[in-house]
Structure 1
Amino acid sequence: MGIKPTYIKHFATDLMRAHTGRFSGDFEENKQVVAEVAVIESKCVRNRVAGYITRKQNTKKTSA
């Protein structure tokens, strides 16, 4: 897959802090939430942010 750019990580982390409880382990739901709470014109960037958030949420579930 590759390494995520730091701007994706920072943006996703900021969204997760600002909107705790709104994100889940489902990519489709996270994609909709990111579209609602952030103004991202690029569909590709929105999906990458949502994918990173989904991955983080699923990692939390398995480690907890």
Structure 2
Amino acid sequence: MLIIPVKEGENIERALKKFKKKFDRTGVIKELRARQAFIKPSIINRKQKLKAVYINKIRSEQE
């Protein structure tokens, strides 16, 4: 459960922005989408390896 302390006289939009930021950091939506369909572990590993290769390539190009 997220608790957002709101100070006296603080704008409601600012409190809502804090709530949205905290909610995004929890990763609830990302986890829900991932659980909608089963993904084989081999496919997950393949995606992680491809992502690592891509990031490595970008870092080597910057240097």
TM range (shorter): 0.3 to 0.5
Give the TM-score taking structure 1 as reference length: 0.35
- TM-score scaled by length of structure 2: 0.35
Larger Rg: 2
